[in-house]
Amino acid sequence: MANREFRKLLPSDLNLVLQMNWDFREGFTHESSAKKFLSNPMNWIYACIQDNQIIGFAYGYELNRLDNKGNMLYIHEVGVLDSYQRQGIGYQLLTDLKYLCKTTGICRIFLFTQKHNTAACALYEKVGGKKTSDSRDDDITYFFNDFDDISDKLTQILTCSN
């Protein structure tokens, strides 16, 4: 297997993020918006990088709470390039995010998907996501708030602070 690095992206990773326009979809990123996004430590792009290319990612936003239980992480999108799917990359991205949340005091991760996206639903459930009972129509909300299943012996996670 090729050498893969899993980590939170920083402002110095701007060129990697801009390359996502060609690798994932046109119009995915815009230079000034990506600079602003990456410069805010409350914004997250956690990525799998291989050969100086993002092959998988989860991006979202850390949200403050009023109840002193810790912030929450909203994951807006999870993506893995087609040629790298079914290799455990999405699983590792979300498992690493759970570990990072546990170690930084973030109390919960949540995301939305659609019922017809069966591959995503299977992934989120495999990683420990729980569907809310009030999910309606085609929308499903998954919560990850039990980080006790995270082993302290995960793959080495490179965390970088801004």
Query: Cα-flanking dihedrals φ and ψ of residue 60, to 5°?
Result: -175, -160
| Mean pLDDT of all residues belonging to the chain | 89
The answer to the question of residue 153 being in a domain is: no
CA angle, 10 then 14 then 18, to 5°: 135
**Could you report the per-residue pLDDT of 144-158, keeping only the tens digit for each?**
987 776 654 344 444
The answer to the question of residue 154 being in a domain is: no
Tokens of 137: 């129509």
| CA–CA separation, 99 and 104 (whole Å) | 9
pLDDT interval class at 135 (50, 70, 90): low
pTM for the model stands at 0.87
The answer to the question of residue 149 being in a domain is: no
What is the structure's pLDDT at 44?
96
The answer to the question of residue 156 being in a domain is: no
Segments forming the whole domain that contains residue 93: 4-144
Per the structure, the count of domains in the chain is 1
What is the structure's pLDDT at 38?
98
| CA–CA separation, 93 and 101 (whole Å) | 12
The answer to the question of residue 99 being in a domain is: yes
The answer to the question of residue 160 being in a domain is: no
The answer to the question of residue 159 being in a domain is: no
**Could you report the per-residue pLDDT of 45-81, keeping only the tens digit for each?**
999 999 999 999 999 999 999 998 899 999 999 999 9
The CATH number of whichever domain residue 28 belongs to comes to 3.40.630.30
The answer to the question of residue 139 being in a domain is: yes
Percent of the chain with pLDDT over 90: 78
Query: Cα-flanking dihedrals φ and ψ of residue 43, to 5°?
Result: -100, 140
Q: Strand 72-80 to strand 108-114: parallel, antiparallel, or no bridges (unpaired)?
A: parallel
Q: Which residues neighbour 80 within 8 Å (Cβ) at sequence distance 6 or greater? A: 48, 55, 56, 57, 89, 90
